[in-house]
Amino acid sequence: MATVLTLAGDGIGPEIMTQAINVLTAVNDKFDLGLTLKSGLIGGAAIDAKGSPLPDDTLAQAKAADAVLLGAVGGPKWDAIERSLRPERGLLKIRSELGLFANLRVAKLYPQLANASSLKAEVIKGLDLLIVRELTGGIYFGEPRGIRTLENGEQQGFNTMVYKTSEIERIGKVAFELAQTRAKASKNPAKVCSVDKANVLEVTELWKQTMIELQKDHYSDVELSHMYVDNAAMQLLRAPKQFDVMVTGNLFGDILSDEAAMLTGSIGMLPSASLDESGKGMYEPCHGSAPDIAGQDKANPLATILSVAMMLRYTFKQEDAALAIEQAVSDVLDDGLRTLDILDKNESGLTQVGCKQMGEAVLAKLAS
């Protein structure tokens, strides 16, 4: 029997996780998936309870589980503690310990939310792009790193951006194969845009060369293009539909995926998956812990609910169950229900709802 470990975390994490668990339980029963749910602590909640952002028992649970569903971590409460003990360190460690090297973020525009985007409707209508981010290497994990005092007494901060050929090939393989899969479904040509800064950074010069060789040797049916990260950031706003799959390193992917999220109107709508080489994954919303609205029933649970759909699709290969969740979300939006972050006050026929009511509406659609 397969096991899902739920880690609610901090801020709005417990609220959105409650709604996601309710949806997962419903589809588990409806489709007879045979999943067992367990829970654990991570982030600030774990610091408060056990003195560590990733306790040993949580890590053991995560390694034993078939998939992990995460809420959010962090908040101002823990900003003043030692850097190595902050909530975000727990998130980085669990990704590293589980070997979750491939982060997938889909920026897909629900047509019902076209007016929620800050961009013109004609620019984003039909948007459906995938950003594949390398997650366990690059400057976030490179050594040496730290803050040191120079001979003149001045302090200096330093980090190291480093990638091996094997790490680049591994994430490239994921991007190219996902482009092939998406092309079959959409009947469009398979395209990958590799994002780098090869004109300045040697590490991304190696990245670009490796992507070129990988495409030539194994994925000649996929069109490969290259773009500097500064231009990619601009093009995502100017003409986002030119992209299908984008692949890039940890730092650039962190920034570009959040930018792409806002193309859809709200980061509260977007799920993400982080996968290992066997397809085991950790699934989480793209947004953060939003401590300013925690406990107020204002959070949007849809990104977490859609993360459940991604989990069922990529780890458990339960496409029908995944599609049922995605359709339920679309149906709820058709009914005009909106949390505050996706509410267009100039559009008639909309009803503002809280986190709990939105989750209950999705459940009702699944049951109908």
| Axis crossing angle, helix 13-30 with helix 355-367, rounded to the nearest 10 | 10
Tell how far CA 36 is from the center of its chain: 23
pLDDT for 362 equals 98
Query: For each of the chain's 368 residues, which pLDDT tens digit applies?
Result: 899 999 999 999 999 999 999 999 999 999 999 999 999 999 999 999 999 999 999 999 999 999 999 999 999 999 999 988 999 999 989 988 999 999 999 998 888 888 878 888 889 988 999 999 999 899 999 999 999 999 999 999 999 999 999 999 999 999 999 999 889 888 999 999 999 999 999 999 999 999 999 999 999 999 999 999 999 999 999 999 999 999 999 999 999 988 988 888 777 888 999 999 888 999 999 889 999 999 999 999 999 999 999 999 889 989 899 999 999 999 999 999 999 999 988 889 999 999 999 999 999 999 98
Residues with Cβ within 8 Å of residue 212, at least 6 apart in sequence: 224
pTM of the model: 0.85
Report whether 31 contacts 64 (CB < 8 A).
no
Domains 1-110+288-368 and 128-263 belong to one CATH topology: yes
Q: Is 68 helix (H, G, I), strand (E, B) or coil?
A: strand
Run of H or E including 248: strand 245-248
Report whether 119 contacts 155 (CB < 8 A).
no
What residues are annotated to the active site?
A: 140, 197, 230, 254, 258
- Compute, in degrees rounded to 10, the torsion defined by CA atoms 178, 164, 94, 298: -50
CATH code of domain 128-263: 3.40.718.10
pLDDT for 314 equals 86
Q: Is 222 helix (H, G, I), strand (E, B) or coil?
A: coil
Run of H or E including 155: strand 155-158
Residues with Cβ within 8 Å of residue 292, at least 6 apart in sequence: none
pLDDT for 118 equals 82
Instruction: Give the start-to-end residue ranges of the domains of the chain.
Output: 1-110+288-368, 128-263
Query: What is the SS3 string spanning 19-39?
Result: HHHHHHHHHHHHCCCCCEEEE
pLDDT for 258 equals 85
Supply 355's token pair.
């986190």
Report whether 54 contacts 90 (CB < 8 A).
yes
Given the candidates 3.50.50.60, 3.10.20.600, 3.40.718.10, 3.10.180.10, the CATH classification of the domain at 1-110+288-368 is: 3.40.718.10
Question: Distance between CA 138 and CA 214 in Å, rounded?
Answer: 19
Report whether 140 contacts 100 (CB < 8 A).
no
